[in-house]
Amino acid sequence: MNNIKYFIILFFIGFCEPVLAEIDKIYHPYVEGHKSEIEYRALYKNDSSSVSDGTQFHRWAFGHAVTDRLSVETYVIGKNLPASSFSIDAYELEVKYQLTEQGEFWSDWGLLFEFERDTEINKWETGLGVLWEKEWGNIITTANFFIDYELGSGVNEEFETAFHSQIKYRWSRYFEPAIELYMDEETRGLGPVFLGTQKLGVNKLKWELGFIFGFNDETANQNLRFLLDYEF
């Protein structure tokens, strides 16, 4: 019972203070050695009372695990605003390092280093994420803690923080229901997410579909997120 109380407290600790990063995805601390992946992520905002209603974000990525603990992933990021046409104006490099072997300690840990260039508003951003995960039987709890620094003529130079978390139930590899929480300086989002994995020989196809509901004035009322990841 005490263990259950612990991860519930950890999951909702993000409510204690404002923290930064958009509704996107939850990162796990693991690296599958010498595997490559192609990933597509999308976010659609629905909010009839906001100028962001109908905004879409799209990410295309290619990644490769150079060792059994270190992976590198590059992103091209585009968006489609209601009042303008689709444009690609950001690029990102992510480096993930798995700190502990899965199951080696009480919980599993990893680090995520991010470097992003936004050409539209002349912004550079660098960040560090701490990735945490713990299994409780068929329940898996994951938390991401981020600190980012933004600089450039288009933004105020400052540090920003974010907290993302997920509680997932391992129903089967084909279907896993979850609930996710996203918090940063502006975003407050919570909602259900559904995940699954389909094996294709020695390769894998992963999908995620989430419905994140905003609960402050700065977050769109409904946020639909989608992920498709092919590992080979």
Q: What's this model's pTM, rounded to 2 decimal places?
A: 0.87
117-121 long-range contacts (CB < 8 A, ≥24 apart) are 117/90, 117/91, 117/92, 118/89, 118/90, 118/152, 118/154, 119/89, 119/90, 119/91, 120/87, 120/89, 120/90, 120/154, 121/152, 121/154, 121/155
At position 35, the amino acid (one-letter code) is K
Q: What is the pLDDT of residue 120?
A: 85
Q: What gap in Å lies between CA 179 and CA 208, rounded to an integer?
A: 12
Q: What is the pLDDT of residues 149-195, one digit of tens each?
A: 999 886 788 899 999 999 999 999 899 999 999 999 889 999 999 99
Q: What confidence tens digit (pLDDT) does each residue in 9-21 have? A: 444 444 433 333 4
Report d(CA 222, CA 225) in Å as an integer: 10
pLDDT value for 100: 97
In CATH, the architecture of 2-115+130-147+160-231 is: Beta Barrel (2.40)
Whether the per-residue pLDDT at 6 is higher than 70: the answer is: no
Whether the predicted pLDDT of 108 surpasses 50: yes
**What's 68's DSSP letter?**
S
Per residue in 116-137, pLDDT (tens digit) is: 999 988 889 999 999 999 999 9
pLDDT attached to residue 39: 98
Q: What is the pLDDT of residues 45-96, one digit of tens each?
A: 998 776 678 899 999 999 999 999 999 999 999 998 887 889 999 999 999 9
C-alpha span between 124 and 105 (Å, rounded):
36
How far is residue 80's CA from residue 88's CA, in Å, rounded to a whole number? 9
Radius of gyration from C-alpha coordinates of the chain:
17
